[in-house]
A = this chain, B = another copy of it.
Amino acid sequence: MEIATGIRKKYPVPMIRRLPSYLRIIKSYSYGGIEYISATDIANELGYDSVKVRKDLALTGVCGKPRMGYKVDELIRAIRSIVGWDKNSEAVLVGTGCLGSALLGFTGFSRRGINFAAAFDVDPHKIGMTVHGHTVMPMRGMKNFITERKIEIAVLTVPADAAQETVDILVDAGIKGIWNFSPAILKVPARVVTQNENLMSGLAVFMVKMATESV
């Protein structure tokens, strides 16, 4: 496929956000020994419009056959390639609190190419503890750890007040991307990628839906 050779298309963000759901359905077909899947199948499973799915799948570069659909294993390979889940990256987790511990314990990351090389925290009570197989390390050693191991990804689960100071260390250490679960907006140089995950946005939408529904 073209993607591997260096030509990088620009994919619409809403489409990228749907890819993991597509992948989940397609994989379930694969496990079931089914060789082809149609856009209609996926749309039905997810409650989407089939044209939207077909357009998304077209962007993956996989060609479908009329009356048959798309080859399951081709789609899986293409989607995993687009979202980068076909290669492995090491990551550090900063802030081994409630949410940080949950992420450390999530088994799904390794299947998606993310492996936690270390977990850090400032809290002396937490340092030395083992959380889901990871020993919590002091912040002091973080910068060197990242630099020496050439870690590119940081998952940030510290309180909002501590976010920027933590980010400054990460950037200084040469981190390439920060997946930020704190509500703070991070100031980083242009070369550093950030992805903000604001769980409270989802709660807000949920509550508004509930209110409008129950009138």
Q: Which residues of A contact B (CB under 8 A)?
A: 1, 3, 6, 8, 10-11, 13, 16-21, 24, 45-47, 82-85, 97-99, 101-103, 105-106, 108, 112-114, 132, 152-153, 160, 176-177, 179, 183, 185, 191, 193, 195, 197-215
The CA of A121 and the CA of B47, in the complex, are separated in Å by: 28
Copies of this protein, total: 2
The CA of A83 and the CA of B209, in the complex, are separated in Å by: 9
Q: Are B19 and A114 in contact (CB under 8 A)?
A: no
**Complex partner residue of A195 from B191, B195, B202, CB under 8 angstroms:** B202
Q: Are A183 and B8 in contact (CB under 8 A)?
A: no
**Complex partner residue of A85 from B103, B183, B207, B209, CB under 8 angstroms:** B207
Give every chain B residue within 8 A of A114 (Cβ-Cβ). 203
**Complex partner residue of A208 from B84, B108, B197, B211, CB under 8 angstroms:** B84
Q: Are A11 and B83 in contact (CB under 8 A)?
A: no
The CA of A202 and the CA of B103, in the complex, are separated in Å by: 13
Q: Are B20 and A82 in contact (CB under 8 A)?
A: no
Q: Are A102 and B112 in contact (CB under 8 A)?
A: no
The CA of A204 and the CA of B109, in the complex, are separated in Å by: 11
Q: Which residue of B has the minimal Cβ distance to A45? A: B185
Check A205/B195 contact, CB under 8 A, given A21-B183, A102-B102: yes
- The distance from the CB of A27 to the nearest CB of chain B, in whole angstroms, is 11
Give every chain B residue within 8 A of A102 (Cβ-Cβ). 98-99, 101-102
